[in-house]
Amino acid sequence: MIHTLLVANRGEIACRIFRTCRDLGITTVAVYSDADADALHVREADLAVRLPGAAPADTYLRGDLVVAAALAAGADAVHPGYGFLSENAAFAAAVQDAGLVWVGPPVKAIELMASKTRAKELMAEAGVPLLAPVDPATAGPDDLPLLLKAASGGGGRGMRIVRELDSLGGELLAAAAEAASAFGDGEVFAEPYVERGRHVEVQVMADAYDTVWALGTRDCSLQRRHQKVIEEAPAPGLDDALRTRLHDAAVAAARAVGYRGAGTVEFLVSTGGRPYFLEMNTRLQVEHPVTEAVFGVDLVALQLRVAEGEPLPAPEPPLPAGHAVEARLYAEDPARDWQPQTGALLTLEVPDAPGLRLDTGYTGGDTIGVHYDPMLAKVIAHAPTRTAAIRLLAGALERARIHGPVTNRALLVRSLRHPDFVAGRLDTGFYDRHLPALTAPGDGDPATAALAAALAEAVAAPAQASAPAPSRFGAWRNVPSQPQVKRYRSEPDGTEHEIAYRTPRTGIPEPYEADSGTRAVSVTPTRVTLELDGVTRHFGLAYDRDRDRVHVDTAGASYTLTALPRFTDPTAQTDPGSLLAPMPGTVVRLAEGLAPGAVVEAGQPLIWLEAMKMEHRILAPASGTLTALHAAPGHQVEVGALLAVVQERADGAPVPEETA
Measured CA to CA in angstroms, residue 134 lies from 144, 167, 272, 649 at distances of: 10, 16, 22, 44
The domains located in the chain, with CATH, are 4-103 (3.40.50.20), 132-192 (3.30.1490.20), 198-438 (3.30.470.20), 446-463+483-564 (no CATH), 574-659 (2.40.50.100)
For residue 607, give the 3-state DSSP assignment.
strand
Contact 282, 250 (CB under 8 A): no
Residues of the chain with pLDDT under 70: 153-156, 182, 462-481, 514-515, 566-574, 612-613, 649-660
Contact 257, 108 (CB under 8 A): yes
Give burial (CB, 10 Å; 0-12/13-18/19+) of 219: buried
In whole angstroms, give the CA distance from residue 399 to residue 555.
7
Measured CA to CA in angstroms, residue 580 lies from 339, 585, 643, 649 at distances of: 13, 12, 6, 20
- State how far Cα 448 lies from the chain centre: 30
Provide the 8-state DSSP code for 268: E
Of 168, 221, 223, 170, nearest to 190 by C-alpha is: 168
Contacts of 525 (CB under 8 A, 6+ apart): 456, 457, 459, 460, 463, 541
What number of H helices and E strands is found in the chain? 15, 38
Provide the 8-state DSSP code for 652: S
pTM across the whole model: 0.84
In whole angstroms, give the CA distance from residue 506 to residue 504.
5
Contact 2, 25 (CB under 8 A): no
In whole angstroms, give the CA distance from residue 221 to residue 429.
8
Contacts of 105 (CB under 8 A, 6+ apart): 257, 259, 260, 261, 263, 282
Dihedral angle, C-alpha 426, 432, 438, 439, nearest 10 °: 150
Provide the 8-state DSSP code for 209: T
Dihedral angle, C-alpha 593, 598, 602, 607, nearest 10 °: 40
Instruction: Write out the DSSP string of 91-157.
Output: HHHHHHHTTPEE-SS-HHHHHHHHSHHHHHHHHHHTT--BPPPB-GGG--GGG-SEEEEESS--TTT
Instruction: Write out the DSSP string of 501-549.
Output: EE--TTS--EES-TTSSEEEEEE-SSEEEEEETTEEEEEEEEEEGGGTE
pLDDT in tens, 270-293: 998 999 998 899 999 999 999 999
What pLDDT sits at residue 651? 56
| Strands of 47-50's sheet in order across | 47-50, 27-32, 4-7, 77-79, 101-102
Measured CA to CA in angstroms, residue 609 lies from 146, 228, 341 at distances of: 25, 22, 14
What pLDDT sits at residue 311? 98
What pLDDT sits at residue 466? 44
Give burial (CB, 10 Å; 0-12/13-18/19+) of 17: buried
Contacts of 488 (CB under 8 A, 6+ apart): 450, 453, 454, 496, 497, 499, 550, 561, 562, 563, 564
pLDDT in tens, 97-147: 999 999 999 999 999 998 777 888 888 888 888 888 888 988 999 889 998
- State how far Cα 525 lies from the chain centre: 32
What pLDDT sits at residue 476? 47
Of 226, 227, 234, 228, nearest to 202 by C-alpha is: 234
In whole angstroms, give the CA distance from residue 148 to residue 168.
9
Rg (CA), the chain: 27
Q: Which residues of 241-255 are buried (b: 16+ CB within 10 A; e: fewer)?
A: ebbebbbebbbbbbe
